[in-house]
Amino acid sequence: MVRSSAVDACHIKDDVSNLLEELSFAMPGGGALQAAVAFMTPENQPLLPGASERSQCGGTVILNVGGSIHQVKWDTIDKFPKSRLQRLRYAASETEILSLCDSFSLGRREFYFDRSPRIFENILGLYRKGELHLTESVCPRDFLGELEYWGLSSLYLEPCCAYTMQRSSWLLPIMEPGADQEDEANPFDGMCCSKLRNVIWKLFEDPNSSNAAKVLMIVSSLFLIASIIMLILSTVPEFQELATISTDKDNDNGGKEEKEEIYFFRITEAIFVGWFTLEYLIRFIVAPYKFDFLISFLNIIDLLGILPFFVSTLLKLLSSQYSLKYIAKAAQIFRILRILRIFKLSRHITGLKTLGTTLRNSHRELLLLCMTVSMGMLIFAGLAYALEKDEPDTMFYTLPQTLYWAIVTMTSTGYGDVAPTTAAGKLIASLCAICGVLCITLPIPIIVANFNRYYEKSIIKEEIEEQRSIINNNWDETKKSIKEARYRISLEMEQFARKRKKPSLNGTNGTSP
């Protein structure tokens, strides 16, 4: 008898809910508010006989996710406060409910979500079992997007799936979904000669933008390689000539003779530097953001490849006029610094870019390497100095000299110019060499692993960019064909209109008034 009365009460409550749902269409807000409070908070009602039956009737909710039906207890949803489903339970108005789901039926206690049903099964498993696993054959970013929609964190992932998620998400380049080149913000909008500057900027900065940009990149690389070869050959004695440089001591004797490269190498160097300078100035002039251009790492490398030529030329001129030998020495140093322009190749070579990125992001491992080597160097240098300083004909006469020996030994270089003579010193040297190998080899695999990760990521990004450029080029050709077709159709329509107009005019002229 108690069971039948509880079932009748449940049916009566369903009828009332249906009636309130119909009234909610006539009075928005009022009926939905009462109905939502009535069925979402059944625990607030006093406990009557047959409470278990009422919990089966009013303590569950039906979640329709992409057509997949799930019946869940409200108590299960309460396990994760501030999630979308938990906020849905305590929503107090129709507007608030619709902001959390796509559609709902208060009579059937059903909420509809236009989301992925496959991923939601794993998310629902987190509510029921307290375990969250990755959905098989689902993009990691899609999975993270669903977690964000349901108000959950990826930190709930089990260890078996957390590493896979982090690695997959890290490898994927950050790109806006569905974005193409026309949708990207143009940094030259609103600037003077924006179209021309944009074309020139892409010509020098993006080799994949056009065939002309690729040709320019190849020419610039050939100039760079040729300048390095010329710089190396200019140091060969056969390609040098004697030049007189005046100094303070040699003013009366006419000066001092030194070797410098022949005229041909000076001319070729001037041509190469002129090309690099022109390229840098053009890019600086058309750059949309001048300050960002100047502090860019690759642009700083380009500037370092140009400045040594002008500085060495200036110092050489000052040395000839004021007879300062130290200025002449500095000029020679700056001439050799022109070799730094080899780093310009990193602008176009993916491996060099990856190497720079790896070093920037491996600062912890590099710091660990420096600390371990420094500690070992100080320890073994102190021991070797204490054991060898009092020996006759010792080479460990100062601690800085011993530190030099320790770093050479730990890095497995071993020039042999400084070596211990006693048995205890040789034992310390052996331990120093062994510890040096261990200290250096431990952080190196981490740096190599970082390089492999960044290189793999850069390769994936390049492939995606190449595919996008092909699609954009095809779309540009399609738009061009559409414009040409529209133009031909407009011409044909004009010709057709003229042909129809001529007979009408002839008929009008042939009739008598």
- Which pLDDT score, from 0 to 100, does residue 112 have? 92
For residue 278, is pLDDT > 80?
Answer: yes
503 pLDDT tier (thresholds 50, 70, 90): low
Domain topology for 116-172 = Potassium Channel Kv1.1; Chain A (3.30.710)
Q: What is the CATH number of domain 194-348?
A: 1.20.120.350
In this prediction, residues 182-187 reach a mean pLDDT of: 58
* Residue 294 or 499, more confident: 294
Q: What are phi and psi of 260, to 5 degrees?
A: -145, 165
Q: What does the pLDDT look like over 126-142, one tens digit per residue? A: 888 888 888 777 777 88
- Which pLDDT score, from 0 to 100, does residue 182 have? 45
**Bridge partner residues of 260 (DSSP):** 241
- Which pLDDT score, from 0 to 100, does residue 238 have? 83
Which range, of 248-252, 324-328, 502-506, averages the lowest pLDDT? 248-252
For residue 284, is pLDDT > 80?
Answer: yes
Which pairs with CB-CB distance under 8 Å and at least 24 residues apart come from 126-132?
126/80, 126/152, 126/156, 127/72, 127/76, 127/77, 127/79, 127/80, 127/85, 128/72, 128/76, 130/79, 131/158, 132/156, 132/157, 132/158, 132/161
Q: At a CB cut-off of 8 Å and minimum separation 6, what does 187 contact?
A: 288, 289
For residue 23, is pLDDT > 80?
Answer: no
Average pLDDT, the chain: 76
Q: What does the pLDDT look like over 254-274, one tens digit per residue? A: 556 667 778 888 898 889 889
For residue 344, is pLDDT > 80?
Answer: no
* Residue 451 or 331, more confident: 451
432 pLDDT tier (thresholds 50, 70, 90): very high
Q: At a CB cut-off of 8 Å and minimum separation 6, what does 448 contact?
A: none
- Which pLDDT score, from 0 to 100, does residue 180 have? 44
Q: Are 208 and 214 in contact (CB under 8 A)?
A: yes
Q: Are 165 and 136 in contact (CB under 8 A)?
A: no
Amino acid present at 210: S
Amino acid present at 243: A
d(CA 341, CA 338): 6
| DSSP 3-state of 107 | coil
Question: Burial code of 6-16, b = ≥16 C-beta within 10 A, e = fewer?
Answer: beebeeebbee
Starting at the edge strand that comes first in sequence, how are the strands of the sheet with 60-65 ordered?
Answer: 68-73, 60-65, 110-113, 103-105
Give the start-to-end residue ranges of the domains of the chain.
1-114, 116-172, 194-348, 349-507
Q: Are 57 and 8 in contact (CB under 8 A)?
A: no
Largest CA distance in the chain: 138
Domain topology for 349-507 = Helix Hairpins (1.10.287)
What percentage of the chain carries pLDDT values higher than 90? 8
Q: What are phi and psi of 63, to 5 degrees?
A: -110, 115
What percentage of the chain carries pLDDT values higher than 70? 76
Q: What does the pLDDT look like over 375-408, one tens digit per residue? A: 999 999 999 999 888 888 888 888 889 999 999 9
Q: Look at the chain and count its residues.
A: 513
For residue 367, is pLDDT > 50?
Answer: yes
- Which pLDDT score, from 0 to 100, does residue 150 have? 92
Structure tokens at 164: 């896979």
d(CA 145, CA 506): 71
In this prediction, residues 304-333 reach a mean pLDDT of: 72
The dihedral through the CA atoms of 38, 42, 44, 46 has a sign that is positive
Q: In which element (H, E) is residue 338 found?
A: none
For residue 49, is pLDDT > 50?
Answer: no
| Nearest Cα to Cα of residue 204 among 269, 272, 295, 299 | 299
